[in-house]
Chain A
Amino acid sequence: MIEVESISKSYGATRAVQDVSFRVERGEVLGFLGPNGAGKSTTMRILTCYLPPDSGTASIAGFDIYTHSIEVRRKIGYLPENNPLYLDMGVLEYLRFVARMRSMSSASQKTKIDQVIDICGLESIVAKDVGELSKGFRQRLGLAQALIHDPEVLVLDEPTIGLDPHQIIEIRNLIKSIGREKTVILSSHILPEVSATCDRVLIINKGRIVGSGTPQELASLSHGGRTILVSVRGPREDISTEFSKMDRFTEVKHLEENGGINRFELRTDAQEDVSEDVFWMVSRSGWSLTELYRKSINLEDVFLDLTTREVS
């Protein structure tokens, strides 16, 4: 559905996007994840024909973004960054304007507008001016505007930014239900958001793709193995040497001592579970174990790991 081949884009000396390639299949929800200024919005602007790439090509549903830009724009519903809206228009007036610009017949305009008002929950505010709306309703109006022509591809730049947790859940569910039939690209710098809504994630940093896969695949990508947190009542030095003697850990770090209880962080490369061994070692030595916790690797660690690694 969407094919992007090694696109690059610079603003002056800043390289916003460098050699980015990816594919999105029909019906897939793809998430762009990356810190602010990573090049997510620029990539989206290129796909929506707002900016052309300096080099590389991209096509949507078989139409090239440069040579067939009008066809591409017809296929896409776009929610730009910061959701710009005409503040002096009425809500209905705005939706009608977009519907007209999408060259919809007046009959289908009416049914479609009613439909998006229903989907996005805008019934209570149709009579208002856009400028009077709260942030949450503005965001929903932006989404309604992107959905109005039933596009095959939805491009949403930070769709849940600035919303309260309740609204975020609503918008996420909305995106999920839309994503069953449509191809969706969304960007975010918030992790749970992407893992909650996307089938596949691209992690972008400094204009490059640094990781890609399903949220689960990415979680296993993280290097550094497992981490175990242990608290033991006993003498600090002895415990530390015993852990080292076990010869299973790449790193033994003392974290804190609190009322005779010493807390350690142990890192291991071993694939099998070593927490039982830790338990037996402690109990054999006659100390008591007060905490044994295996840190699970989540997308957050992968993200931090991939985006803080120096890009050469």
Chain B
Amino acid sequence: MRNIIHIFWKEFRSFFSSPVAYIFIISFLLVTTWLFFRTFFLMNQSSLRAFFSFLPWVFLFLAPAITMRSWAEEKKLGTIEMLMTLPVRDYEIVLGKFLSGFVFLVVALCLTFPLPVTVIALGYPDPGPIWGGYLGSFLLGGAYLSVGLFASSLTENQIVAFILAIVICFVLLIVGENFVLLNMPNTLVSVFSYLGLGAHFESIGRGVIDSRDIVYYLSVIGFFLYLNQLSIESRKWK
């Protein structure tokens, strides 16, 4: 447990040791705020629905950018050999790295607080979708990050890790969309609509917190973290 915390801090600090973290947060806030206010006054509705509807697409690029370094750089520098020969279990490193990315994402997301504040100041929004939207964003972000971490563990090239993560996340996101489901055989429709990242996000975003959606996200995160552990262990496979 303590090892997880040490790894977490090491990773979390490394975000801020270069300007990347600041550029990341500032561009994230600029893009989301602009996209939101572009339509907010036109729609004349005091809700954050517009914000939460494009968030999965913004995250699609930002989450892989957070995780692309995490294993690829260790492999490139060779520090993975130092790290893995310390008395620490593989899963502790994986969890530490995941948590650091997750906390970073949560911090970035919390900095969007001026948006709900504005909406509340200008009208009487339904609080359920706002809380639900944020919860859904944390979970969706976590799922993206676990995919990104896995992608990063497959290569020592950060760009490859970045693109690979986007592709996997994109597939997971659209697999539950209607136009994909229309072309599916009927038997698979329910499976695919359950597997899609987007549908669960919308369901939580309506403000109805269903345990099935939460279980779904936690399993996606768990699954990819497990794959991540397998892939770093693979150097041990005969």
Please list the residues of chain A having a beta carbon within 8 angstroms of any beta carbon in chain B: 45, 48-52, 54, 70-71, 73-74, 76, 78, 80-82, 84-89, 93, 97-98, 100-103, 145
Given A80-B78, A103-B2 in contact, is the A86-B14 Cβ separation under 8 Å? yes
Contact A52 B236 (CB under 8 A): yes
Counting from the closest, the 9 A-B pairs by CB-CB distance are A84-B78, A73-B87, A88-B17, A84-B79, A80-B81, A48-B85, A100-B6, A74-B87, A101-B86
User: Is the pair B87, A86 in contact by a Cβ cutoff of 8 Å?
Assistant: no
A247 CB to nearest B CB, Å: 59
B77 is an interface residue with CB less than 8 A from chain A: yes
Residues of B within 8 A of A (CB): 2-3, 6-7, 10, 13-14, 17-18, 77-82, 84-89, 235-236, 238
**A98 touching B86, Cβ below 8 Å:** yes
Q: Are A51 and B235 CB-contacts (below 8 A) given A84-B82, A88-B18?
A: yes
A50 to B89, Cβ gap below 8 A?
A: no
- B238/A49 in contact, CB under 8 A: no
Once A51-B235, A73-B87, A86-B77 are accepted as A-B contacts, the answer to whether A78 and B18 lie under 8 Å apart by CB is no
Contact present for B17 and A89 (CB under 8 Å):
yes
Shortest Cβ gap from B69 to chain A (Å): 10
Q: Verify A78–B82 contact, CB threshold 8 A.
A: yes
Q: Check A87 against B86 for contact (C-beta < 8 Å).
A: no
For residue A52, which residues in chain B have a CB less than 8 angstroms away from its CB?
236, 238
Contact across chains for A101 and B87 when beta carbons are under 8 A apart:
yes
- B10–A85 CB distance below 8 A: no
Residues of A within 8 A of B82 (CB): 78, 80, 84-85, 145
> Do A86 and B79 touch across chains, with their CB atoms under 8 A apart?
yes
Residues of chain B lying within 8 A (CB to CB) of residue A76: 85
- Which among B6, B79, B86, B238 has the greatest number of chain A C-beta atoms within 10 A? B86
Chain A residues with Cβ below 8 Å from B7 are: 101
Cβ–Cβ < 8 Å partners of A98 in chain B: 86
- The listed residue with most B CB atoms (<10 A of its CB), out of A84, A87, A89, A101, is A101
B236 and A51 within 8 A (CB): yes
